[in-house]
Amino acid sequence: MGQKIHPVGFRIGVIRGHDSHWFYKKQGYAAAVKMDHEIRQVVKGRVGLGNVSRVEIERAANRLKVNIFTARPGAIIGRGGKGIDELTDILNRMVREFDGTLGVQVNVTEVRQPELDAQIVAENICAQLEKRISHRRAMRQAMTRVVRLNGRGIKIQVSGRLGGSEIARTEKDKTGKVPLHTLRADIDYGFAEAHTIYGIVGCKVWIYKGEVLPEKRLRELDAIMQTQQENRRKERDDRGPKKAFGATKAEEGAAEAAPATEGGQA
């Protein structure tokens, strides 16, 4: 029935890694997963829609590192680092309820091309929908930016009471190619919700950025392609000269005999 696997989870261990890096025994595992979820909710709640791409969490000994990837580092850091200090204090209070020995360290990394980040694109579309901007216009602008920045393809899907209609529906648009079943394809996926006066509108975004392959595999593929091209050339050479279209066997024999006769007369 057309069920789709999550594009990011499908590629973990192949071309992508996990957003959480830690190990726990059975007793504390569920609580650590819940804590990770709450940390991400707090970070996104403080910054707002359209700014945070992802939050990576690392646990090592007595230190918990929170790496925030954002399009607007200044919104998190604040004037003179005041914003990041407040965020660190909030996270410290949360984490110490779970484990009193843990200390939080917050790192902020800027996303250089937010127009090619699926999560940021999805949240920006939702922010426009909340301002009553047409969903078609928001989708078209997002696709135009991706094409302008040499993105290989983008697919956008919005679902809900679009434009305040009585019956909810789903609309989607696509440009370029988005090979969801190709594991080596670097496909970024994002999902966000817009809370409008008519209800919740969901937005999904898939962005194809190209293929990711190890150098060794690339060299192997190049060698295979060169071998195939050489084999095709040999096959063409073995066929002999190209025959005239519609020529009969008698005409072909006469054409071959003509050069020999001319050589004998000479």
According to DSSP, residue 242 is labeled P
E strands in the chain: 20-21, 52-60, 63-70, 103-110, 153-160, 169-176, 185-196, 199-211
- pLDDT score at 266: 45
Neighbours of 103 (CB within 10 A): 15
Residue range(s) defining the domain that contains residue 106: 7-111
Cα 111-128-2 angle, rounded to 5 deg: 80
| The domain boundary residue, chosen from 164, 191, 211 | 211
| The domain boundary residue, chosen from 211, 232, 256 | 211
- Let me know whether 37 and 131 are in one domain: no
Classified as helix, coil or strand, 168 is coil
As to burial, measured by CB atoms within 10 angstroms (0-12 exposed, 13-18 middle, 19+ buried), residue 39 is: buried
Q: How far is CA 72 from the centre of its chain?
A: 20
**pLDDT tens profile 86-114:** 999 999 998 888 777 888 999 999 999 99
| The domain boundary residue, chosen from 111, 143, 163 | 111
**Could you say which residues of the chain have pLDDT below 70?**
1, 214-221, 235-266
